[in-house]
Amino acid sequence: MKSMTCRDLGGPCDLVHTGKDADEVIVAQDKHLKEVVKAGDEAHQQARQEMKYRWMHPKKSLGWYNDVKERYAALPDEATSEG
């Protein structure tokens, strides 16, 4: 498991998203943006619009996606406690 913040993914805040891969973190960011914009948070509006564009135009957005995947892969694994 690794974590990236909303800001790491192009958003305006430091909410942490954790996932087993970059795709989980990206989906968590999308959900976060949907929720806060729906609640009236204007600071996240631009990031939400950009995320919507990426979902609608995946080929054009491969640069962003590949960059996030590379940055996620470069992060150290977080310690997990089991038991």
Rounded distance, CA 16 to CA 52, Å?
20
Rounded distance, CA 33 to CA 54, Å?
13
- The DSSP H or E segment spanning 17 is strand 16-19
The confidence band for 80, taking pLDDT boundaries of 50, 70 and 90, is low
Strands (E), the chain: 2-5, 16-19
Q: For 9-42, what is each residue's pLDDT tens digit? A: 999 999 999 999 999 999 999 999 999 999 999 9
Q: For 48-66, what is each residue's pLDDT tens digit? A: 999 999 999 989 999 999 9
Can you give the pLDDT at residue 31? Answer: 97
Tokens representing residue 38 in the block = 């729906």
